[in-house]
């Protein structure tokens, strides 16, 4: 502060007392005997400047966002309280107004910070309430792995959210804990039931495997094949056993099934080969039947009966060829029998068409009866004998 400006705010008395002029009057702030009054006022003016510099520094700190409002207020009140006894010469009233302005600004900042803390607290509570709501939704879910991992993440996120009072925080955490415990209880019950189901599935599948093993050496191809198919259906409906047991049991079941069907296929191949051999043999007999001479009916009929006996002895042929072979044999036999019938009718009186038909029917039934007897088919023998007796009786009446 210059000498002129200092002299406007104070004076030095004749006795060396230095006075400060204030709106309420003068008050002594010190004494000066080391030089002229102007030098004394300048000295006390520099003290004022130091005081004013502290106010300026305080105002600058106010502009720093990170400055603590409580520290600013404390410094402002300290300076403001010191003005009444400050040993300075200068405009203390202006300094007082500036310090009051600092205190007002500090109060505003406190209010802003309080509001910001309230907003942060509300946001933190909202975030934790959202985690609580999510926990309660997860508690009724059944995605055990994903939900279990999410519960662990929720606990970490919940602890990371700060700024909530202890009472509220405790209440919210208790809700998360309750939801997690409900989920854990349901998960435990689920896996306990699953373990029981798997134990039952294991017991059932072990029984299926045991039966499959028992069927491996069966030669009842049709019934055993059907039973293997039924066992596979039972396997599918039995549920899953524990994974390691499931895989081992399935391997045993498939091995037994594959072994049985491999044997069945081998037997089928062998049977098919035998049927094809029989077919070739019957084709040879058909060639012999086709070569019979109708002009020699007696000899050809004897040869035909031998062929039919050998035919029945040969046995079965492939199903798709059976009907055609029987038709061709019947046609070859009809050719010889018709020739014989014509030979027998020549020296006799001509017979009616009805009698001729009956003779042919009797001849066919006789051949059929011989084949049935050769094959040991009791049911077919009985039917052929009954039909032959009827046809012979009719022929007897017709030829009288």
**153 and 102 share one domain:** no
* Domain annotation covers residue 280: no
CA distance 193 to 204: 16
Mean per-residue pLDDT pooled into runs of 10, the chain (400 residues): 60 93 91 90 94 95 90 94 93 95 93 90 94 93 92 94 93 94 93 88 90 89 90 89 88 90 88 87 87 80 86 87 86 82 60 76 84 80 86 76
- Work out the widest C-alpha separation in the chain, in whole angstroms: 196
Residue identified by tokens 């702030």 is 29
- Dihedral of the CA atoms 270, 271, 275, 278 (nearest 10)? 70
Nearest to 186 by CA among 134, 151, 141: 141
Last residue of one domain, picked from the residues 87, 116, 145: 116
**26 and 100 share one domain:** yes
Tokens of 34: 């080391």
CA distance 332 to 360: 13
CA distance 384 to 386: 5
* Domain annotation covers residue 282: no
Domain extent for 216: 196-269
**23 and 124 share one domain:** no
**170 and 185 share one domain:** yes
CA distance 103 to 96: 11
**186 and 251 share one domain:** no
- Residue 3: its pLDDT value, please? 38
* Domain annotation covers residue 185: yes
* Domain annotation covers residue 150: yes
Model pTM?
0.48
- Residue 233: its pLDDT value, please? 92
* Domain annotation covers residue 284: no
Tokens of 107: 């109060």
CA distance 133 to 125: 12
Residue identified by tokens 């009809």 is 334
**339 and 247 share one domain:** no
Residue 270, exposed/middle/buried by CB under 10 A (0-12, 13-18, 19+)? Answer: exposed
Tokens of 348: 């006799």
Last residue of one domain, picked from the residues 194, 217, 249: 194
Residue 320, exposed/middle/buried by CB under 10 A (0-12, 13-18, 19+)? Answer: exposed
**322 and 233 share one domain:** no
**104 and 8 share one domain:** yes
Q: What is the 3-state secondary structure (H, E, C) of the chain?
A: CCHHHHHHHEEECCCCEEEEEECCEEEEEEECCCCCHHHHHHHHHHHHHHHHHHHHHHHHHHCCCCCCHHHHHHHHHHHHHHHHHCCCCCCHHHHHHHHHHHHHHHHHHHHHHHHHHHHHHHHHHHHHHHHHHHHHHHHCCCCHHHHHHHHHHHHHHHHHCCCCCHHHHHHHHHHHHHHHHHHHHHHHHHHHHHHHHHHHHHHHHHHHHHHHHHHCCCCCHHHHHHHHHHHHHHHHHCCCCCHHHHHHHHHHHHHHHHHHHHHHHHHHHHHHHHHHHHHHHHHHHHHHHHCCCCCCHHHHHHHHHHHHHHHHHHCCCCHHHHHHHHHHHHHHHHHHHHHHHHHHHCCCCCCCHHHHHHHHHHHHHHHHHHHHHHHCCHHHHHHHHHHHHHHHHHHHHHCC
CA distance 394 to 400: 10
**99 and 12 share one domain:** yes
Nearest to 358 by CA among 400, 305, 311: 400
Last residue of one domain, picked from the residues 194, 210, 232: 194
* Domain annotation covers residue 274: no
**354 and 307 share one domain:** yes
**79 and 160 share one domain:** no
Tokens of 149: 């991992």
* Domain annotation covers residue 287: no
**214 and 249 share one domain:** yes
* Domain annotation covers residue 34: yes
289-319 pLDDT per residue, tens: 888 888 777 788 888 888 888 888 888 888 8
Question: Could you give the number of structural domains in the chain?
Answer: 4
């Amino acid at each position: 502060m210059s000498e002129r400006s200092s002299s406007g705010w104070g004076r030095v008395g004749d006795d060396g007392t230095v006075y400060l002029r204030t709106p309420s009057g003068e008050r002594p702030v010190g004494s000066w005997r080391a030089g002229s009054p102007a030098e004394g006022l300048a000295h006390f003016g520099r003290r004022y400047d130091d005081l004013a510099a502290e106010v300026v520094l305080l105002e600058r700190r106010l502009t720093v966002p990170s400055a603590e409002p409580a520290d600013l207020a404390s410094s402002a009140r300290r300076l403001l309280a010191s003005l009444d006894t400050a040993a300075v010469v200068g405009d203390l009233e202006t300094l007082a107004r500036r310090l009051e302005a600092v205190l007002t600004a500090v109060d505003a900042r406190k209010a802003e910070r309080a509001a910001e803390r309230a907003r942060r607290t509300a946001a933190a509570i909202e975030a934790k309430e959202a985690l609580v709501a999510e926990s309660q939704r997860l508690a009724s879910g059944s995605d055990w792995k994903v939900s279990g991992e999410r519960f662990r993440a929720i606990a970490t996120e919940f602890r990371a959210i700060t700024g909530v009072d202890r009472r509220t925080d405790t209440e919210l955490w208790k809700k998360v804990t309750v939801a997690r415990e409900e989920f854990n209880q349901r998960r435990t019950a689920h896996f306990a039931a699953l373990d029981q189901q798997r134990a039952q599935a294991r017991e059932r599948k072990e029984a299926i495997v045991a039966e499959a093993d028992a069927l491996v050496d069966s030669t009842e191809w049709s019934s055993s094949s059907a039973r293997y198919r039924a066992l596979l259906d039972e396997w599918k409906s039995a549920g899953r056993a524990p994974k390691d047991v499931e895989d081992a049991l399935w391997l045993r079941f498939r091995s037994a099934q594959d072994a049985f069907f491999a044997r069945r296929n081998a037997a089928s191949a062998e049977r098919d080969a035998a049927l094809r051999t029989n077919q070739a043999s019957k084709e040879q007999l058909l060639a012999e039947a086709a070569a019979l001479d109708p002009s020699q009916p007696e000899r050809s009929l004897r040869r035909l009966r031998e062929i039919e006996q050998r035919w029945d002895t040969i046995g079965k042929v492939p199903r798709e060829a059976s009907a055609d072979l029987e038709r061709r044999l019947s046609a070859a036999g009809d050719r010889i029998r018709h020739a014989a019938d014509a030979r027998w009718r020549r020296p006799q009186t001509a017979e009616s068409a009805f009698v001729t038909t009956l003779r042919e029917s009797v001849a066919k039934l006789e051949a059929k009866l011989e084949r049935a007897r050769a094959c040991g088919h009791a049911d077919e023998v009985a039917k052929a004998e009954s039909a032959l007796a009827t046809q012979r009786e009719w022929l007897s009446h017709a030829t009288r």
